[in-house]
Structure 1
Amino acid sequence: MAVDPTGDGLKRYLAEDPGGPVVMLNLLRFREGGQASYARYSRALSETILQRYGAEVLFYGKGSTALVAEDGQAWDAVLLVRYPSREVFSQMVADPDFQAVAHFRTEALSEAVLQATIPVGSG
């Protein structure tokens, strides 16, 4: 299963940019023992990298009871992060400091969804 953005995905993400801030939806499914690795990744981002790019975590929580989901569709965690723009997000993932810790995320996850959101009514 895919857990990291690809070059083609990033190109499409930038090409479909409606402008303005973007809130990234992260749905996370951890590998056995992956929470510790993800915590290390999260600490590195929250201590310096997110601030450098003007990003903020809006919500981070554990998955709980799935009221409507097929078997295997429940997620271990949900994360919402606001970035000033899609371009800023793209710059952040290319930053050598981000690249140095991104492997902790990759090692932590068995599956993920990383989806840009746009406000309803904005296009």
Structure 2
Amino acid sequence: MAVDPTGTALAQMLEEDPGGSVVMLNLVRFAPGGRPSYEEYSRKAVGFLRKYGAELLYAGDGATPLVAEDGQDWDAVLIVRYPDRETFSRMVADPEYQKVSRLRSQALSEAVLQPTTPWGSHRDS
């Protein structure tokens, strides 16, 4: 399962950019024994969020889902706001961030990283 964005996915995200801030929904499933590595990643990633003007809006453990198919439960949910999509792309391309992001990659067995656009912004009718 993929846990890191690909260059193709990042290019598409930038191509679809409606402008303005982007809020990233992070759904993560830990690999066996992966939580400590993810916690270390999180501690180190905070500095990069500050450097790029991003803000962690929420982080919490997943609980038993009320509505979901089998396999759609997640160990943790994080919501992070970035000034814009280009800033997110620059952060993940930062060589120092890439060193830290290895901790995230090894910690996870599965992930969803979903850029979101606020309602009321550019939307197809």
Q: Which interval holds the TM-score relative to the shorter structure? A: over 0.9
Give the alignment of 1:1-80 within 5 angstroms.
1-46=1-46, 48-80=47-79
How many residues align structurally? 122
Structure 1, gaps ≥5 residues long: none
Q: Which amino acid aligns with 1:24?
A: M
Q: C-alpha separation between the residues in 1 aligned to 2:62 and 2:55?
A: 20
2-structure distance, mates of 1:45, 1:122 = 29
Give, as a single letter, the amino acid of the residue that structure 2 aligns with 1:14: L
- Structure 2 CA distance, aligned partners of 1:117 and 1:66? 21
CA distance in 2, matches of 1:25, 1:38: 16
Question: Which residue does 2:91 correspond to in 1?
Answer: 92
How far off is 1:121 after superposition?
A: 1.7
Quote the sequence identity (%).
64
Compute the TM-score of the two structures, normalised by the length of structure 2.
0.96
Task: State the secondary structure of the residue aligned to 2:104.
Answer: helix
2: distance between equivalents of 1:96 and 1:44? 14
CA distance in 2: counterparts of 1:70 and 1:88, whole angstroms = 34
- Give the 3-state SS of the residue equivalent to 2:113 in structure 1: strand
Give the deviation of 1:56 after TM superposition: 0.6
AA in 2 matched with 1:51? R
Cα displacement (A) at 1:96: 1.3
TM-score with structure 1 length normalisation?
0.97
Per-residue Cα deviation, 1:63-102 (whole angstroms, up to 9, x for no partner): 0120001121100000000000000000000111101111
Question: Which residues of structure 2 form unaligned runs of 5+?
Answer: none
4+ aligned runs moved over 2 Å, structure 1: none
CA distance in 2, matches of 1:94, 1:83: 15
CA distance in 2 between counterparts of 1:49 and 1:115 reads 19
Tell me how large the CA RMSD over aligned residues is: 0.6
